[in-house]
Structure 1
Amino acid sequence: MKAIAIFAVGLMGVASGLASAPAKAEDASWGCQILLCAASHNPSWHGVPYCVPPLTRLIAAMSKPGFSWPICHEASAGRPGQEIYEDCPGGTTIGYSSQSDRGSRGEPDQCIKTVNVCQSSGQRDGDARLAGLTINRRYGREGESCIQEIATPRPRRTDPWYFDISNDEGVKERFWFNLNH
């Protein structure tokens, strides 16, 4: 919260220019209001009464044709990024559960682990399948192999949107947020 408070004070100072009266958050452009509110944590923007109207307006605007994300030029933050999925756990790789008719991959919505089910602590083939979905088995000259690729659903982020905002030392900090009502 300290970083956002410093950012807000700096942003309001930039927004006010050389004016003698201090700037208020309400005077910020819509893009800057969104940036300030999106970066709010503990509470999130949902718990800050000032933030509900600009973010509700944003959510409604996003569904309209020709939507363009409002930018806070004073903060040089640009549009937010979005990462729907969490990273896969160590020892796994990203996989895809579907493929389009044109051969392109679907969403990276799986975590894939290659396991040797014959050596995995006495587990039998049926037990290994319970941990996820067997998507690939390797076959050799003597039939089925012990090496299998087990897919599990990749966890989704609670806060899939983010802004990278420079702090007072010029180091970018990532602020995650969601656009759920």
Structure 2
Amino acid sequence: MLGLKRIVLHNSYFTSMTVKFDVDGHSNASGGNGAGKTSALNLIPIFYGTEPNLLVDQIADKDSFLDFYLPKQSSAIVFEHQRDDGFRLVVMYRHTSGSKVIYRFIRGCLEETFFSSEIKPLLESGVSISDIFHELRVQNITISKQLDTITDYRSIIQNDRNLLRRKGGNAGDVALAREYCIGGANDRMST
């Protein structure tokens, strides 16, 4: 079946850990209060383009989305989805300025990329996500340009023609949408 398959949290609110959640089919999230179940499930709408800052309730001294889910330069949220022509990854991570969430797309599945024998030790050693991207490129893995806004990300993942054609939009984003959107190159998500 096509669609979102797995979510990976690397050095996120589970500090110094890489945690995988299978979201394809039936799942059972169990654990005590405060174990992170709801925090993980809340990431599903983020994959589809929901504004990350709408996710975290700032009442009661809770951190921002960025500080809660991506506290360090080595933190990442990775979404694996399957298209009709193979697997793709979405990587959310912290900008080097530390002030915002940024995105990249990767061609391939988790086992070929983040969990490969060359990359997994780097993740475990705590290197920055930028260093991981560098090593993935050395391994000839296709990685998209950096996307700086949720609007740019949403336009690509949903293959939203209106967003892709908006004023100030990047013409190259149409090609990215064909390569990385949900489904296939000609599919669009309807709302």
The TM-score by the shorter chain falls in which range?
A: under 0.3
TM-score (norm 2): 0.24
Which of the two has higher C-alpha Rg?
A: 1
TM-score (norm 1): 0.25
**Which structure dedicates a bigger proportion of its chain to strand?**
1
